[in-house]
Amino acid sequence: MSMIGISHLTRDFGGGKGVFDLSLEIEKGEAFGFLGPNGAGKTTTIRHLMGFIRAQGGTCSIGGRDCWKDADTIQKTLGYIPGEIAFFEEMSGNAYLAFLRSYRGMKDEGRTSELLERFELQAGVRIKKMSKGMKQKLGIVAAFMHDPDTLILDEPTSGLDPLMQNRFVELVREEKARGKTILLSSHMFEEVERTCDRIGMIRGGRLAALDSAQALRARHVKTYVVTLASEQEARAFAEDFGGRWPLEDARQVEVTARQSLEEIFMHYYGGGPSC
């Protein structure tokens, strides 16, 4: 039985906006990448999963429970990072985490300190004074501190620098290895490619493609082997272009080129602007 099930989900906001007849199954222990341009319906789908809005047609379930009727039960073992986090600005980060723990009925600190250390977040500052990146880190800590079984992450790395993005990717991989089910929404191919087993692409509220990350990578990440005049040149080339070196022949460097998201979308949606 799948952990997250979306079946014929329909929600029409009019003017072509919304989600239309969307069906998805995410297995327990799977990391699923939910990819699409802005306004494609990612967040709307997630709001249904969170029980914030009621489906006009179709159903959503997590762990076999209905996302609308049993929202509070589902939330016991769910971690969520909203796409745009709006905190209680007047609180300090630590006060917010403490509030959330007692609000959730947590008896202890959970993973709070470990996560704060991991993301190098000094959370004693008032949230109002925090930078975008700090707020995002706080959102991550809040979503993971109660060690949930299911994670719904809506553009979780926005505002993070590359170092912290890497730490986040590590965290997601670890959680996946621990058997957690993960839905990661993003408009960045790299982010989902690095963490997810399968990737679903959504546009105009409809599922446009569903493929394993591996197949997508094979199709959209091109690898070249470049042979240079000398070993030194090969080494310098590898350093400058981030290639793999040395290969069997020390004058050769392997470089990869990723298609941009636009190009991938073009491929799947067949021409026209991606949005």
Partner 1 sequence: MLNAALYKKEFFGSLRLLAVFGAILTLYITMIIRMYDPEMAQALAQFEQLMPELMSAVGMTGVNDSLMDFMISYLYGMLLLVFPMVYTILRANALVAKYVDRGSMALLLASPVRRTTVALTQLSVLVTGITALTAYCTLLEMVTAHICFPGELAVGQLLRLNGGLWCLQLCIGGFCFLCSCLFGDARYSAALGAGVPCLMYVLQMLANMGGKLEGFRYATVFTLFQPQRLAQGNWRAGLYALVLLTAAVLLFAAAAAVFRRRDLHI
What type of residue sits at position 26?
A: I
Residue 67 or 238: the one with the smaller Cβ distance to partner 1 is: 67
- Could you tell me the smallest distance in angstroms from the CB atom of residue 44 to partner 1? 9
Backbone angles phi, psi at 216, to 5 degrees: -65, -40
Binding-site residue total for partner 1 (CB under 8 A)?
A: 27
The reply on whether position 47 binds partner 1 by CB under 8 A is yes
- Could you tell me the smallest distance in angstroms from the CB atom of residue 160 to partner 1? 19
Burial 168-201 (b: 16+ CB within 10 A, else e): bbebbeebbeeebbbbbbbbebebbbbbbbbbbb
The reply on whether position 51 binds partner 1 by CB under 8 A is yes
The reply on whether position 132 binds partner 1 by CB under 8 A is no
The reply on whether position 105 binds partner 1 by CB under 8 A is yes
Residue 127 or 202: the one with the smaller Cβ distance to partner 1 is: 127
The reply on whether position 108 binds partner 1 by CB under 8 A is no
CA atoms within 13 A on the CB side of 11: 23
Residue 144 or 245: the one with the smaller Cβ distance to partner 1 is: 144
Considering only 87, 237, 268, 269, the residue that binds partner 1 (CB under 8 A) is: 87
- Cα torsion at 229, 230, 233, 234 (round to 10°)? 90
Segment lying near partner 1 (by CB under 8 A), choices 19-27, 84-92, 182-190, 219-227: 84-92
Q: Which of residues 138-167 bind partner 1 (CB under 8 A)?
A: 142
Rounded Cα distance, 155 and 89, in Å: 21
Segment lying near partner 1 (by CB under 8 A), choices 73-81, 191-199, 227-235, 240-248: 73-81
Tokens of 68: 């609308």
Considering only 6, 50, 62, 199, the residue that binds partner 1 (CB under 8 A) is: 50
Strand ranges of the sheet holding 198-203, from the earlier edge strand across to the other edge: 78-81, 150-154, 181-186, 31-35, 198-203, 206-212
The reply on whether position 86 binds partner 1 by CB under 8 A is yes
Considering only 14, 103, 107, 163, the residue that binds partner 1 (CB under 8 A) is: 103
The reply on whether position 14 binds partner 1 by CB under 8 A is no
Q: Can you give the binding site for partner 1, defined by CB under 8 A?
A: 47, 50-54, 71-73, 75-76, 78, 80, 82, 84-88, 90, 99-100, 102-105, 142
